[in-house]
């Protein structure tokens, strides 16, 4: 039996969220997952209460930053530890949270899976846009995605994601969920010195990085035109299997049945947008400038 509460309604990508969670928990979720632009086409209800018992579920353990988590999956049903349960699908979903809440990291897994089931591919990538065109830059943590985004921002381009983006293969639209770009002081001084005077007003994250506010809720839909791979050193062309591996590392592994079907289709489409040429930090800025400056006849 779930606790009866009036539903709060908000939007995450094209997902209409109806939340009966306590207001303090709902606010935390909105901070990470609420988006404002675009139409909704799917619905999810979030309620508080005991989780249904797992039935015929396959169990796996994953390592999160906080602690290991036991994940159980039965087709489109998902249990994340003892904290969250969901039944997902392409259009509608329901999520139940245990009465004492769930950690933000576990909620992140859940929302990511909900969006996968709705046909969105999560991309661990910085995204930079100019007009309606966007380029995503992926690479392992520490490869220089944030610094590349900072440099491109200083060059007049709009940063729409630092490393949390979702791409919708059916429409080509890409959306960012980050509200800030996090950079160290020396990166700011080196790559965007004209923004130094504003730094006094910015907060810092737990690592001491400056949190530069990003413009969220882009006034126009942006379409992904290319995915670039950032590598610390110059490397040869990616082989076809390496390209596939890069894509799965960029989007992560789906858990439930519908999400797996959607993501497999999406990865096949994203393969066409991945450049086989890995780029170094020095090469990425001119490459993105060139890609965003080009306008095809269909777009003009």
Under the rule (CB under 8 A), what is the footprint of another protein? 58, 60, 240-241, 243-245, 247-248, 253-254, 257, 260, 263-264, 267-268, 271
CB 118, min distance to another protein, A:
18
Query: Residue 138: how many CB atoms within 10 A of its CB?
Result: 23
Whose CA is closest to 14, among 28, 34, 31?
Answer: 34
Provide the minimum distance between the beta carbon of 241 and another protein in the complex, in angstroms, as a whole number. Answer: 5
**Least distance from another protein to the Cβ atom of residue 142, Å:** 20
Give 235 or 268: the residue with its C-beta nearer to another protein.
Answer: 268
Backbone angles phi, psi at 57, to 5 degrees: -100, 145
Task: Specify the residue, 214 or 273, whose C-beta has the smaller distance to another protein.
Answer: 273
Q: Are 264 and 117 in contact (CB under 8 A)?
A: no
Q: Distance (Å, rounded) from C-alpha 68 to C-alpha 278?
A: 33
User: Coil, helix or strand for 147?
Assistant: helix
Nearer to another protein, 55 or 207 (CB): 55
Closer residue to another protein (CB): 40 or 264:
264
Q: Which is nearer to another protein, 26 or 113 (CB)?
A: 113
Q: Which of 22, 74, 73 is nearest to 49 (CA)?
A: 22
- Number of Cβ within 10 Å of residue 134's Cβ equals 30
> Nearest distance from residue 249's CB to another protein, in Å?
8
Residue with tokens 């939340």: 19
| Whether the Cβ atoms of residue 240 and residue 213 lie closer than 8 Å to each other | no
Nearest approach, Cβ of residue 128 and another protein (Å): 26
């Amino acid at each position: 039996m779930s606790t009866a509460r009036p539903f709060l309604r908000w939007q995450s990508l094209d997902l209409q969220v109806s939340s009966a969670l306590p207001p303090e928990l709902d606010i935390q979720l909105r901070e990470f997952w609420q988006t404002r632009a675009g139409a909704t086409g799917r619905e999810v209800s979030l309620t508080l209460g005991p989780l249904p018992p797992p039935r015929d579920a396959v169990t796996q353990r994953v390592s999160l930053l906080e602690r290991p988590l036991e994940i159980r999956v039965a087709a489109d049903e998902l249990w994340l530890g003892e904290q969250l349960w969901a039944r997902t699908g392409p259009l509608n979903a329901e999520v139940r949270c245990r009465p004492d809440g769930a950690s933000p990291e576990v909620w992140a897994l859940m929302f990511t899976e909900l969006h996968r089931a709705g046909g969105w591919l999560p991309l661990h990538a910085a995204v930079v846009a100019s007009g309606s065109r966007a380029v995503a830059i992926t690479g392992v943590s520490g490869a220089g995605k944030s610094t590349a985004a900072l440099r491109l921002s200083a060059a007049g381009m709009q940063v729409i994601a630092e490393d949390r983006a979702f791409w919708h293969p059916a429409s080509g639209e890409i959306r960012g969920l980050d509200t800030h770009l996090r950079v160290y002081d020396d990166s700011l001084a080196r790559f965007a010195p004209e923004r130094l005077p504003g730094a006094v007003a910015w907060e810092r994250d737990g690592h001491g990085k400056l949190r530069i506010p990003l413009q969220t809720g882009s006034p126009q839909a942006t379409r992904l035109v290319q995915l670039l791979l950032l590598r610390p050193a110059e490397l040869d062309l990616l082989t076809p299997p390496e390209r596939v591996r890069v894509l799965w590392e960029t989007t992560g592994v789906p858990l439930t049945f519908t999400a797996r079907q959607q993501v497999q289709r999406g990865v096949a489409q994203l393969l066409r947008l991945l450049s086989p040429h890995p780029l170094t930090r020095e090469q990425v800025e001119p490459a993105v400038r060139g890609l965003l400056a080009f306008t095809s006849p269909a777009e003009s």
